[in-house]
Copies of this chain bind each other. A is one copy, B any other.
Amino acid sequence: MNTKSIIEADLLIQAKWIIPVRPQGVVFKDHCLAIRANKIVAICPAEEVTTSINAAEKMLLDSHALIPGLINAHGHSPMSLLRGIADDISLSEWLEDSIWPLEAKFVSEKFVRHGANLAIAEMIRSGTTCFADMYFYPEQVARSALAANIRVQLASPVLDFPTVWAQDAEEYISKATRLHDDYRHSELIHTAFGPHAPYTVSDAPLLKLSTLAEEMDIPIHMHLHETAKEVSDAVAADGRTPIARLKQLGLLSPRLVCVHSTELSDEDIAMLAEAGCHVVHCPESNLKLASGFCEVGKLSKAGINVALGTDGCASNNDLDMFSEMRTAALLAKAVAADASALPAQQALEMATINGAQALGLDAQIGSLEIGKYADIAAINLDALNSMPTFNPVSQLVYATQASQVSHVWCAGQLLLEEGEFTSLDVHAIRTDTEHWRNKIAAASQLRTQPG
């Protein structure tokens, strides 16, 4: 590269470590990353910078690691307003006795916008720059995401039965396609179909979604094999596992993003692998609802792309992808009875490039590579709990608190600087959240602790 010309950049970041995720396993020490407009334009050793990059602004992060912005591959962002309202009960009770009645009473355009605002603030604060979201009024989540300049893939919900958002499958689908049309040229807003689960969506709408997803070139994002009961109920009803049913309907393809997938037979795994489906692992939600254990080690060995998600924070109870990486890496070892299952590097991949692949966005995000969007998080490893640092990837996965995230950029825009939001109106988010807290607490006549 002796003949290279000078690269023009808006911002040059020099960091103690740059962990690009791709190429796999690489850690650059004392390197610089350059951003022009919304993209990464260079990564090079610090000592070569003066001769190769001309930057308008420079930033030195001398105890930090730069990583790709984290990708939360499954959630329900507006449910942040229901954080901690129903703990320590099973999925069916949680849904039927707590969450669905509360949603029926409170969910509105405003609830969704305010809940998404809170969730987005929490995600940016903890290094997430892209999230997959399945909830009612997705156009409100889009509005919040655009205002905050964060990337989202909106999986518009589809159900057989009426909710506040639509009356029947046809209306859900028509709203989903309209949303797609509204944002088809957006840099930050992406769409997917979000059929809720095999037990809430019948064959006809699934067949329609399969065709439309192909035509529109978007993913299908679906809760699938979340619990043993879901699978045994399905087998009892029509002799097939939900995955076998989806296969017969033609839904198994690289477009299908299967969320949870705790209960998979070897046949199920073979079908998913053969079809190139993705799995989103949500370990903390699976544990909290006692849904079961996703065998990540086994899925990875079968060649299935496994991404990572927090799920909604009413079943987690936060949107912290550092905690989720750690839980995933720890849990997979005990589940596989193999301490080498899911090493730190793989956990980081699940939270970045694997998420990008699941969402169909890996050409644009998921790693720190030239030409990709400048979606970046900086983590300060100067904390006591990060010392000594023998291996920064180990620290990020096994010993980092999300509060150590110091800077976040999405599409080149600085959203968080030294732990402070550059533009989000946090005061308004607090006020709106307190408003909903008071309303919900009064209505749900909490028998738990005083709020």
Contacts and interface: CB of A to CB of B under 8 A. Distances in A.
B430 A85 contact: no
Interface residue tally of chain A, by bracket? 35 or more
Interface centre among A29, A121, A399, A434 (most CB of B within 10 A): A399
Given A340-B88, A389-B84, A451-B389, A333 B437 contact: no
A17 B398 CA distance: 31
B318 A390 contact: no
A354 interface: no
Contacts of A254: none
B290 A341 contact: yes
A446 B392 CA distance: 13
A162 to B, nearest CB: 28
Interface in A102-132: 118, 121-122, 125-126
Contacts of A437: 387-390
Interface in A308-341: 313, 316-320, 323, 326-327, 330-331, 333-334, 336-341
Interface string A393-411: 1110011011110000000
Interface string A280-302: 00001011111111000000000
Nearest to A393: B449
A84 B80 CA distance: 33
A433 interface: yes
Contact of A385 (B291, B320, B387, B398): B320
B399 A402 contact: no
A29 B450 contact: yes
A91 interface: yes
Contact of A327 (B91, B319, B327): B327
A165 interface: no
Interface in A357-396: 384-385, 387-395
Nearest to A313: B399
A451 B391 contact: yes
A170 to B, nearest CB: 35
A59 interface: no
Contacts of A118: 384, 387
Contacts of A394: 84, 87, 317, 448-449
B391 A334 contact: no
A318 B449 contact: no
Contacts of A330: 284, 287-288, 327
Nearest to A28: B450
A81 interface: yes
Contacts of A213: none
A346 to B, nearest CB: 9
Given A90-B339, A287-B333, A83 B387 contact: yes
A27 interface: yes
Contacts of A433: 387-388
A401 B401 contact: yes
Given A88-B340, A331-B287, A403-B403, A391 B449 contact: yes
Interface centre among A121, A122, A391, A449 (most CB of B within 10 A): A449
Contacts of A89: 339-340
Contacts of A87: 343-344, 391, 394, 398
16 contacts: A83-B387, A83-B390, A84-B390, A87-B344, A90-B340, A93-B339, A118-B384, A125-B384, A286-B334, A288-B339, A290-B334, A290-B337, A290-B338, A313-B399, A389-B451, A391-B446
Interface of A: 17, 27, 29, 80-81, 83-85, 87-91, 93-94, 118, 121-122, 125-126, 284, 286-293, 313, 316-320, 323, 326-327, 330-331, 333-334, 336-341, 343-344, 384-385, 387-395, 398-399, 401-404, 426, 429-430, 433-434, 436-437, 440-441, 446, 448-451
Given A288-B330, A384-B429, 18 more contacts: A84-B398, A88-B340, A88-B343, A90-B339, A125-B384, A288-B339, A290-B341, A292-B337, A318-B385, A320-B401, A387-B430, A387-B433, A388-B451, A390-B441, A391-B448, A401-B402, A401-B403, A403-B403
